[in-house]
Amino acid sequence: APAGEVASPAPAGDVADRAAAGFRQRYGAPAAGRWAAPGRVNLIGEHTDYNDGFVLPFALPLRTVVAAAPDDGDRWTVWSELTGDQVGFGADEVAAPGRVPGWAAYVAGVVWALREAGHRVPGARLAVASDVPLGSGLSSSAALEAAVLAALVDLGGLDLPAEGRPRLAQRAENAYVGAPTGIMDQSAAIRCRAGHALFLDCRTEAVEHIPFDLAAAGLAVLVIDSRAPHRHADGEYASRRAACEKAAGLLGVPALRDVAAADLDDALARLDDDETRRRVRHVVTEDQRVLDAVALLRAGRVRDIGPLLTASHASMRDDFEITVPEVDTAVEAALAAGAYGARMTGGGFGGCVLALVDADRADAVADAVTTRYAERGFRAPGFHLATPAPGAHRL
């Protein structure tokens, strides 16, 4: 799309057709079925999931589709339109984590985690197509895991209800791929509902589907791809997680979720290191902001969550220190152009910003961000309009 123009997500049919056509071309026969799983944005609640706290993501219309059919024996073959390469692996490679590298590790990781959990995983051929951009913080990896998991569960007739799937997909990512992420992204890719945000308690995995009808309120969520190069994102993520776990230990609680917002000052007074205090303050105040946002949405006050979004961003920028200049610039420009609230979404150090705007102002806000980016000499940003879509399902 030209600079400043708001690109609508690709038509829903395309990616599914690409997966089906790719399957037929690679394997010379039609697939037995197609399974889709979405990317996500997180409305609010960042770096709270691995602190046993609260998150509020919703699924995007951008999705990954896996076309698949059973294969004989313990053999898995997967082709991706993105890289154009085909990877095959067998029982040896899924006997222990880490044996399949690269993008196919997400697929092998799901097979490994299913087998670890005692499931008889059918051999399969798979073809993957995706509209979820890679490396933009919209959770393309969880979308792939969720779509592959749905396909294998259905092909094998496995007994694994949707509630049990996020943990298993997270295990694939944590233990097989080796990324120490929380449970949010897999939960969003699997459990979200169209028209709703997913209020998730990451300790109990209890969910409430919160109606999130932007159109009825005359609003839109503009997702701005900051296009910032990811700078040491993996190491920084792991170090934030470690700092939170250490702080919980110092405070004598199982997780930072157990520090109530009302007790925050007392807790901070017991920590002698300023950086640790700021990390704790982010997590504790962010959990409270999720609860406040949920209360507003339950009352139908969508516009009023704006200030909470912006406060979340300030907390990520100043206390958790996970933003970068491109992301801060996008937030500032969106707010200056009239957004009700704006914040970075996802793990940080790049990725996307979301802005809550009047629907008829989305183009103007996008233009304002593009202009500010040009002034600062940044690579042009990308834009999507986000409407809450469903989680993983068979097509």
User: Where on the chain is the footprint of ligand GAF (CB under 6 A)?
Assistant: 46-47, 49-50, 181-182, 184-185, 346-347
Q: How far is the CB of 145 from ligand GAF (least distance, A)?
A: 11
> What's the closest the beta carbon of residue 40 comes to ligand GAF, in angstroms?
9
Is 135 annotated in some ligand binding site? yes
Residues designated catalytic = 185
Nearer to ligand GAF, 347 or 350 (CB): 347
Minimum CB distance to ligand GAF smaller for 50 or for 378? 50
Q: How far apart are the first and last CA of the chain?
A: 28
Minimum gap (Å) between residue 50 Cβ and ligand GAF: 6
Q: How far apart are CA 178 and CA 168, in angstroms?
A: 14
Rounded Cα gap, residues 95 and 108, in angstroms: 10
Instruction: For the CB of residue 316, give the shortest distance to ligand GAF in the complex, in Å.
Output: 9
Annotated binding residue 8: no
Dihedral of the alpha carbons of 90, 93, 96, 101, in degrees to the nearest 10: -140
Ligand-binding annotation for 351, yes or no, is no
Residue (74 or 319) nearer to ligand GAF, CB: 319
- 141 annotated to a ligand binding site: yes
Known binding residue 138? Answer is yes
Nearer to ligand GAF, 46 or 319 (CB): 46
Q: Which residues are annotated as a binding site for Mg(2+)?
A: 141, 173
Q: Which residues are annotated as a binding site for ATP?
A: 80, 135-141
Q: Which residues are annotated as a binding site?
A: 46-49, 80, 135-141, 173, 237
